[in-house]
Structure 1
């Protein structure tokens, strides 16, 4: 069927690159290196039985490109009904086929992402519900009249730990979103690497002790300084150490080591987190830094977490101009994470000592939140610190209370029903009796757009829920009394 070329028009010359003179007389399947979708015998049989064949072929052009063509082959007969030639009409569909293949691959990718999203949402619901049980139990203990001091102390510790767990999960989610959208801002300054690693190890020591794990730490022989956001890098190494602790099992060995890279320009430090625990499966290793990837989706969720910690690690390290790699010999072979970060060539000048802490001054605080438990508990905490407090649970009530109480500081929730916190803030700013009032937004929203909206509404500061009481304490101490 594939005989010598007897006709070669201008369109064929443009498509394939051979001139009419060069193509005539050549065997078409050899010249074009034809790749058939089915065995040639089957295609030939269809052509001879029906007189025509329609399908797609892959050809190679003169310059070596592979193209896909839509081919229509028709037998040409002589006067006696004998097949004497094959008339072939070809249309280049390479671009269309490439687009279709790309769309098909994208559909597969989207389906996989959709499955990951569904698994993640189920996991998120599980992980956020987990702290509720101990929180409820602890609340019951505190409400029990005959609870011992030790039981009350344990209940308070439980509440603190579970709130920290929930806050950490929510912060991780927000961080991933901000980094993905390019909205995270690093607060870089010269920081000693040892301080960052020491802070990270201090946060995981209790977890390692509970599992009888050995944590060995090795620092560089000489101090190493980085131009970095120390809080973010502490987050990186805490995540890596927490993973080693969680996935390595009881009695395993974990090591954190740091050393200057030899003969590298610009200079950098290499930090390794090793363990001899569960290891990483070979099929998972290439995707271990992908979003929502975890080694197991088992129902027992023994290790917990949202599968976003390593994604944060990777992206935060890259934002610092570094790199991170994962290595493992396979399951039960342990794992190693290697972080490379650029370092300063010389130590920065010493920083001056911090100014003395201002003494506590009693303030008049108006606390506005439609979550009455949140408002009342905040009022109790601030009253215990010597402040005079008043609460309100709606926007109109807040304006009435402000006019009567004349607060120096207003802690104002943004998500109020009816009249939101932005509108309340604008009304407060318009009251002559409250000129200079210190307005602090309390909200679960913390994007750059939210911060800008708060500033435009007249807020002085912005606190993300759950409110960091230490930051609030500093603001109240440093606020100049009007």
Structure 2
């Protein structure tokens, strides 16, 4: 490090205080190459220069010593007084630290990290400055390149409109939202960020735990891919292709998930049309076959009768055969006519109050010959007697006979079929037809109800429209039909739920309550809200059995309205409901009924999930599926005295 020979000395003998400090400093830092280290007098003139300063700044010691440090700043910075301001700051605060663009010899810029320390005499007078500068240009350029790359990526993602691209936190809550997500799913960013991504899934997928399973697969395998129905904000469905990727930091800790969804509804519809066309062609071929089958024995039978008019026994046998074949053709034509009427909206239900036993008897008459021909064992369990239904008796019998015929066709000779009827507390009649026949693979358990669909292997007879009729007639009655099968070869169970029971029948579950139970909680009221009607209804039955007066809602707004009019003691809210979610419903109900016990229902039960529900005002957090004992524990915790009084 070079010190000028004409450095001013004090009047005292020997080197001045500053000069002695500089000489010691010179020995230490002269050979340091990674940092520019030099000193300046109080006005900012360079006094010495180390090797690192020469390498970084480009000036030799002879060129720069005696020059003002302003030469390291741009003209604009000098005009604005930046160099002097930095020195003033160092004097005022004792030191200055900062980063910024500086100039090398020749005007080339570099990004420097600068520390300037004010040097004082023992008396406290300012004697000069020590400056240490480090060249961080490469780091700055790298960071800038990274920032620009991230900015370009952000703009790219946000600008993509054909794909919904967004981030989830480790628990599955939405953290970011792009234009494509808004277009496809219908939510604005402020509406969806912070909510759980399960809001995009239909009820059936939620009941099957699909969101949780996808996150678990992504965490386990790195990614999860699926196609299926998803929900928009307005409640409409779209067919989405979903890719979820788990994101980890450098230490391997899960930071969240990237989720990309593409709307493939149009492709799905095109595929459905092609599939419908194939089914139609298969149907027409089957129809031709089914109509030829009865005609095949009828034509020679006519010839036999014409040739043997005087043989009563032979004529009677042929006539019986012809009657059976004509009956078969009539059933085929009736089914075709019914489907045509339903699809064109021309069929009307003719409801009346009738005993269910009469409807069942009519259905059994139609299906018994088929079951007996196959040598199958049919068990019927009606349970309650004297059930009265408000339904179209002909159509209800048709639904039953179609389900039983379907079970018979797909069950081996000698197989078992069971028909069970269960009245439910909400006025629904639950009818189940279970067999130990061929069974249905999982991938066909939804399409089996489509027109002309006969499953994987078809049957030996029929047109594949029986189950379509059942579904259509059930929906016209306000009910539904579903199927459950463990797979091919493992049998099937079709369940029909119809709101046709007339009041006052032995369907009311509460009739089984003892007087003690009924009076124990007669003053207690509960509102239950869940967008899964099945879940809400069955929970309503439970509380009814426990002696509560029950109101059931299927969305958040209805829950708030019922709570306002019903004044419940207990409110049970699903968190992921339409219109307004459980959190908002809880907030509004709390404002009206601060003393009510409010319980959250959720498919998520982590510590954070429970904390969020507690912060929102819920007293309890129950994880689906909720066991009856869990509900009884809540009742005992909050209503034990009331229930025992």
Report the TM-score when normalising by structure 2. 0.39
1:162 has 2:325 as partner? yes
Q: Distance in 2 between matches of 1:214 and 1:327?
A: 21
1:288 has 2:451 as partner? no
| CA 105–140 in structure 1, closer or farther in 2 if over 3 Å, else same | same
| CA 106–276 in structure 1, closer or farther in 2 if over 3 Å, else same | closer
Q: Distance in 2 between matches of 1:57 and 1:280?
A: 36
- Residue deviations 1:303-335 (CA, integer Å, cap 9, x gap): 211100000001101111111111111122111
**C-alpha contact (below 8 Å) 1:141/1:147 kept by paired residues:** no
How do 1:14-53 and structure 2 match up within 5 A? 27-32=150-155, 34=157
Q: Distance in 2 between matches of 1:273 and 1:316?
A: 17
1:338 has 2:465 as partner? no
Q: Distance in 1 between matches of 2:269 and 2:300?
A: 47
SS at match of 1:330: coil
CA deviation after TM superposition for structure 1 residue 63, in Å: 6.4
- Residue deviations 1:70-115 (CA, integer Å, cap 9, x gap): xxxxxxxxxxxxxxxxxxxxxxxxxxxx999554443322222222
Q: Distance in 2 between matches of 1:274 and 1:25?
A: 63
Structure number with bigger Rg: 2
CA deviation after TM superposition for structure 1 residue 240, in Å: 0.8
SS at match of 1:67: helix
- Residue deviations 1:368-390 (CA, integer Å, cap 9, x gap): xxxxxxxxxxxxxxxxxxxxxxx
How do 1:10-409 and structure 2 match up within 5 A? 27-32=150-155, 34=157, 64-67=177-180, 102-145=265-308, 148-261=311-424, 264-265=425-426, 267-296=427-456, 303-342=460-499, 343-346=501-504
Q: Distance in 1 between matches of 2:157 and 2:491?
A: 50
For structure 1, which runs of at least 5 residues remain unmatched after alignment? 1-23, 38-55, 69-97, 348-482
RMSD value over aligned CA atoms? 3.1
**C-alpha contact (below 8 Å) 2:308/2:314 kept by paired residues:** no
- Residue deviations 1:271-311 (CA, integer Å, cap 9, x gap): 1111111111222112111111002456xxx5211100000
Q: Distance in 2 between matches of 1:58 and 1:346?
A: 55
SS at match of 1:326: strand
Aligned twin of 2:42: none
Aligned twin of 2:229: none
SS at match of 1:182: coil
Q: Distance in 2 between matches of 1:268 and 1:100?
A: 37
**C-alpha contact (below 8 Å) 1:32/1:60 kept by paired residues:** no
SS at match of 2:390: strand
Q: Distance in 1 between matches of 2:273 and 2:398?
A: 30
Q: Which has the bigger relative contact order, CA under 8 A and spacing at least 6?
A: 1
| CA 176–31 in structure 1, closer or farther in 2 if over 3 Å, else same | same
Aligned residues: 272
For structure 2, which runs of at least 5 residues remain unmatched after alignment? 1-146, 167-174, 182-260, 506-645
Q: Distance in 1 between matches of 2:312 and 2:269?
A: 60
| CA 151–281 in structure 1, closer or farther in 2 if over 3 Å, else same | farther
CA deviation after TM superposition for structure 1 residue 250, in Å: 0.7
Report the TM-score when normalising by structure 1. 0.52
SS at match of 1:304: coil
**C-alpha contact (below 8 Å) 1:135/1:162 kept by paired residues:** yes
Q: Distance in 2 between matches of 1:145 and 1:238?
A: 38
